[in-house]
Amino acid sequence: MKVLGVETSCDETSVAVYDSEKGLLSNVVSSQIDIHKEWGGVFPELAAREHTKNILPVLDKALKDANVSLEDIDVIAATFAPGLIVSLVIGVSFAKALSFATDKPLVPVHHIEAHIFGTFIEKKVDFPFLALVVSGGHTELYLIRDFEDYTYIGGTLDDAVGEAYDKVARMLDLGYPGGPVIDELYVPECACIDFPTPLKGKKEHRFNFSFSGLKADVLRKVESGQFTKKQIASSFQEKVVDILVKKTLDAAKEYKVKSIVVAGGVSANSLLREKLTEEAKRLGIKAVFPPFYLCTDNAAMVAYTGYLRALKKKFVGYDFKPLARIRMDKFVEILNSSSTV
Ligand code: KG4
Ligand code: ZN
């Protein structure tokens, strides 16, 4: 089965072709980072315009790289949720038009489940596992018993971790996106500020996250003028990684899983990769990280997740709508209750 994946949920326009026999045939990603840099974040209307401009050339290249034509494709998959609605609409409408024109079935994919299951392109993970989702818009823990069997365990009460990275980078005048720059600046010896741990001692929030207080603490240190950028960035990163590692391992122990899959843009973080791998190993748990090309937004993960969904024949009609905000367990509920075609 050959699946064409389309991803436009934020600021990357991407199309990929996944072949169930040969593996990933192509994955073309057109990034808008340079365009959004001057705004210090993603500017929705600009993102939508860029998707409109780029989607056809990106499709063209993805087909060429895969050495296939549209007629060879069996299924069209697209990210339907969550994301910037003006961006999602472009990819969804494009996928619907392709499905209509080629008479190939359409499968909807949730961006977060794509981040999680995209890792399966390269790595084998046994069920059940814990998923730590860390991206620009999400910080969530899920128990994954099977494909489409998701239990929400906890999530952020305010900012997402990637968002906190981006905002701290802005305070320090380090540019956008902030995660990779702060990660690059990090030096363990420079992590000299002991930021307070958010939600500490609140049992009901043991699997929830909060980063807005930490962000405010960072701002106070910036304004004090007493610390270098490297010291603030390193201390921030150390605190964030400590929080993520501790909560994830506590959840892994409580839910008795043997594997943890980390997904989303922040999974590229070098300290998180190192610390979680090391500390999980001590507990006999395997921490699985995607290869770097699958960490940030891409359509390879959408094509692969679309393939898993197509195996279940969960095809939808053209009335199935994109949604800006919806958790992936709820998305599956909607999918299961809507008429599939
Ligand atoms: O998953 P993603 O590409 O887009 C969303 O779905 O949000 O994640 C983007 C986020 C940005 O906030 C970026 O700063 C962060 O991932 N990021 C990182 C690193 N690389 C990207 N954060 C920390 N360390 C990194 N190395
Ligand atoms: Zn993402």
Summarize pLDDT for 116-131 with one digit per residue, the tens: 999 999 999 999 999 9
Query: Ligand 1 pocket by C-beta < 6 Å: which residues?
Result: 10, 135-137, 162, 165-166, 177-180, 183, 264-266, 268-269, 296-297
Q: Give the pLDDT band (50/70/90) at residue 338.
A: confident
CATH class of 126-289: alpha beta
Phi and psi at 38, nearest 5°, equal -70, -15
The yes-or-no verdict on residue 251 having pLDDT over 80 is yes
For residue 258, name the pLDDT band (cuts at 50, 70, 90): very high
Long-range contacts of 203-208 (CB under 8 A, 24+ apart): 205/154, 205/157, 206/154, 206/247, 206/250, 207/141, 207/153, 207/154, 207/247, 207/250, 207/251, 208/154, 208/155, 208/156, 208/157
If you classify domain 2-116+295-337 with CATH, what class do you get? alpha beta
Q: How far is CA 7 from CA 222, 289, 323, in A?
A: 37, 21, 14
17 has pLDDT over 80: yes
Ligand 1 atom index nearest CA of 160:
12
Domain ranges of the chain: 2-116+295-337, 126-289
> What angle do helix axes 212-224 and 161-171 make, rounded to 10 degrees?
10
341 has pLDDT over 90: no
For the stretch 206-226, pLDDT in tens is 999 999 999 999 999 999 999
H helices of the chain, in order, are 33-37, 44-66, 85-102, 111-118, 161-171, 178-185, 212-224, 229-254, 270-282, 300-311, 328-337
What percentage of residues in the chain have a pLDDT greater than 90?
A: 92
CB atoms within 10 A of CB 193: 17
β-pairing, 2-7 vs 75-81, is parallel
* pLDDT of the residue at 39: 72
Nearest ligand to the CA of 29 is 1
Ligand 1 atom nearest 272 alpha carbon: 24
Using a pLDDT cut of 70, give the percent of the chain over it: 98
CA 296 to centroid of ligand 2, rounded, Å: 6
Residue nearest to atom 5 of ligand 1 (CA): 136
Please report the pLDDT score of residue 42 as a whole number: 76
- Which ligand has its closest atom nearest to the C-alpha of 237? 1
For residue 198, is pLDDT > 80?
yes
Report pLDDT for 340. 67
Spatial distance between the Cα atoms of 302 and 77, rounded to a whole number of angstroms: 7
Task: Note the pLDDT of residue 180.
Answer: 97
- The reported pLDDT for the residue numbered 306 is 98
In angstroms, what is the span from residue 103 Cα to ligand 1's centroid?
36
The Å distance, Cα 178 to ligand 1 centre, comes to 8
What pLDDT does 44 receive?
A: 84
Average pLDDT, the chain: 96
Give the closest residue (by CA) to ligand 1 atom 2. Answer: 265
Taking residues 106-114, what's their average pLDDT? 98
**Does the pLDDT value for residue 40 go beyond 90?**
no
Whether 265 has a pLDDT exceeding 70, the answer reads yes
What integer pLDDT is reported at residue 219 of this predicted model? 98
Domains 2-116+295-337 and 126-289 share a fold: yes
Distance 227 CA to ligand 2 centre (A): 32
pLDDT at 113: 98
At 133, is the secondary structure helix, strand, or coil?
strand
Q: What is the 266 CA–ligand 1 centroid distance (Å)?
A: 4
Mean pLDDT within 25-32: 94
Instruction: Using most ligand atoms within 8 A of CB, pick from 266, 270, 298 the residue to mutate for ligand 1.
Output: 266
Give tens-digit pLDDT for 70-105. Answer: 999 999 999 999 999 999 999 999 999 999 999 999
Q: Sheet harboring 23-31: ordered strands across?
A: 23-31, 12-19, 2-7, 75-81, 106-110
Q: What is the pLDDT of residues 144-184, one digit of tens each?
A: 999 999 999 999 999 999 999 999 999 999 998 899 999 99
